[in-house]
Chain A
């Protein structure tokens, strides 16, 4: 480990991974949007971000007023698990059904009441917001889950909830972890070395 890296204020490199944490699963938010319309998208958690601290991964949870930090030393990472999830499709189907339903309702009300119904506006707003949510969901692409285990705990990384983002960030994490554990890979087979006297 480079002692110089610690005698100065820690320098962090952005991993350009940033996403809202979800109090509900994706299909749950989509289902809520069928009832609450655009208001459903106000139900959201803190923002999670990943930064590279050289010898550790910095996980930031930003609630708007404060940042909470967790650090995972690359040397401590034992395993990275990731897998695609099906809530991409579930949420897309729910949002599409809702969008079609509300827009059809708005159109039907417009035709049957000659545009006099007070419900036309809200139905159209619900329909359009669901269309926008669906478009944003589809553009961001398929969903994944990522978690890792260290010596002491299993940590979920909901920030890497989209495959495209995970595909970009995971190789960088793997490279960092592997190079941080190069010594360890050798130590597993090589006999113990004498201390190098670097204190």
Chain B
């Protein structure tokens, strides 16, 4: 049997979980709670055309490629396939079909980023290593690399980056002063 990422199994015996079953595995009797939603019961494949579908009127009506019984309202900006109002996903200015919406997530940047590097947090981690110039410099490099790049999708605060900047600069200043004092013979 081919790998099917959609395959829902019984947690105990790994048998296919029956469609629409809310509680009990038919194979082993394991019980769980399954909440089924209408999306589970919409048609997955284009049904065999009935006699009515052969009429000229219905062939000119574009249908949603995911809902063959619904009229399409918009093409997907990514793949061009026609989808109905239920399927259409707006991602910023774009209209996408659900599969392209999923694919868009795998891109690193754009309207639907799949990941964000937390430059501020990395810099903060480096800058709290006390009085050690290499990590303070590394923190500044990280801040420079991350400058202008968007942070966390849900916590866009620049606070960690600012604290890291202040700490790193303080450390470098303190170190420079120490070096200058040593060079001028203040510690002799």
Residues B90 and A188 in contact, CB atoms below 8 Å apart: no
Q: How far is the CB of B29 from chain A (nearest CB, A)?
A: 13
A103 within 8 A of B: no
Decide yes or no: A82 and B33 within 8 Å by CB, A6-B91, A199-B73 being known contacts: yes
Q: Does A136 contact B (CB under 8 A)?
A: no
Describe A's contact surface by its main secondary structure.
mixed
Tell me which residues across on chain B come within 8 A of A77, comparing CB atoms.
37, 39
Would you give the 0/1 interface string for B61-73, flagging 1 where the beta carbon is closer than 8 Å to chain A? 0000001011111
CB-based nearest A residue for B150? A9
Assembled-state Cα–Cα distance A1/B87 (Å): 10
Contacts of A154 in B (CB 8 A): 5-8
Rounded to whole Å, the gap between the CB of B104 and the closest CB of chain A is 9
B71 and A181 within 8 A (CB): no
Q: A71-B105, A83-B32 in contact; A10/B5 too (CB < 8 A)?
A: no
Chain B's closest residue to A61 (CB) is B115
* Interface-facing stretch out of A33-41, A106-114, A189-197: A189-197
Q: CB distance A68 to B36 under 8 Å?
A: no
Which of B92-100, B163-171, B180-188 is the interface stretch?
B92-100
Q: Does residue B53 face the partner (Cβ distance < 8 Å to A)?
A: no
* Complex contact B118–A188 (CB within 8 A): no
Chain A window 69-88, contacts with chain B (Cβ cutoff 8 Å), 1 for yes, 0 for no: 11101011111111100000
State whether A188 touches B73 (Cβ < 8 A).
Answer: no
Q: Is the CB of A196 within 8 A of B117?
A: no
Q: Which residues of A contact B154 (CB under 8 A)?
A: 12, 14, 49, 51, 58, 60
Q: Are B5 and A152 in contact (CB under 8 A)?
A: yes
Distance, CA A188 to CA B70, complexed state (A) = 10
* A→B interface (CB under 8 Å): 1, 3, 6-7, 10, 12, 14, 49, 51, 58, 60, 62, 64-71, 73, 75-83, 145, 149-154, 174, 177-178, 181, 183-185, 187-188, 192-199
